[in-house]
Amino acid sequence: MELLVLRDGVHRLPTAEYADALRERLPEHTVVHARTPAEEREHVRTADVVTGPRIDASLLEDAEEIRLFACAYAGYGHLPVDELAEADIAVTSATGVHAPNAAEHAVGAILSFSRRFHEAARADRWQPVDPGELAGSTVTVVGLGAIGTAIAERLEPFDVTTLGVRRHPSEGGPTDEVFGPEEFHDALARTDFLVLCCPLTEDTRGLVGDREFGTLPPEAVLVNVARGAVVDTDALVRTLRRGRLGGAVLDVTDPEPLPDDHPIWGLDDVVVTPHTAGATPEYYERLADIVADNVRRLADDRPLRNLAVPAESD
């Protein structure tokens, strides 16, 4: 089976290293790394599997053997999904590669605010800061996919109560309790730390706004490692200015990046990180594990892992 690794002409991601990682895992298959547009067009004619951050729809015109496009990102909304489906090409995602590091980011944010590191960092030399204690707190995790599950698992040793919120609560989860969307406010009312790690959809856009901030206890802390638009930014600013929130850690914002004159920069109880929760030196190693597994599954005609868009013939 031939696997083609596309170049990334936008963000200059290390696709050569990614190709090497795939070769280590798939010695029985041919892995080709395209370094130029001409090489992409040449090798796409014979490739069974194509992988990379994105694929141009025009490239599919030369595709004859492709059965799978393995996207190097967890999200796939940027892909020409209709054209891929029309060409009978399945699409898989990189869901799960961010889980360990994004979970560490979220738990680190919770611990930082629990112990008030952000206040100590601003204090004048030996000025006392009274820290809190995480044990006994309630942490609500919105979204129980790979990242939400990893967060809940890492919180287990801290003697906290975990509440999970997901679209289909009957599916259960790793948290102490699981709530559906219609019970969201019941969970919010009990929350000390609200962690957002859900995908951005029409249902989750603006999920946390004035009403939700009104339900949260005034000392609760928001941690957003999802997407900026899951939170109503204006409502967040209003709530913080009124002293109705204990603080926020935002790895994502709306807009992103925030303009230099945005009011969030002037709020003491907000920590902003530049969309780095998903960054990890292990990204392409974990991605190669997923893609190599799917190449073997494809060869054996077994169900694919992280299937985002099935082939029409499936």
275 is a catalytic site residue: yes
Set 7, 33, 105, 227: catalytic member: 227
Interatomic CA distance for residues 289 and 284, integer angstroms? 8
**Which residues, listed in sequence order, are joined to residue 138 by a DSSP beta bridge?**
161
Q: How many CB atoms lie within 10 A of CB 9?
A: 14
- Gyration radius of the chain over CA positions: 22
Please report where in the chains the tokens 């997923």 appear, as a residue. 290
Environment class of residue 122 by beta-carbon count within 10 Å: exposed (0-12), middle (13-18) or buried (19+)? Answer: exposed
Angle at the Cα of 144 from the Cα atoms of 139 and 145, rounded to 5 degrees:
140
Set 256, 262, 297, 305: catalytic member: 256
**Which residues, listed in sequence order, are joined to residue 223 by a DSSP beta bridge?**
195, 249
Judge whether 102 and 149 are in contact, CB under 8 Å: no
Interatomic CA distance for residues 190 and 72, integer angstroms? 37
2 is a catalytic site residue: no
Set 275, 296, 297, 305: catalytic member: 275
3-state helix, strand, coil in the chain (%, to 5): 35, 15, 45
227 is a catalytic site residue: yes
Interatomic CA distance for residues 96 and 164, integer angstroms? 18
Torsion sign across C-alpha atoms 218, 223, 229, 230: negative
The set of catalytic residues is 227, 256, 275
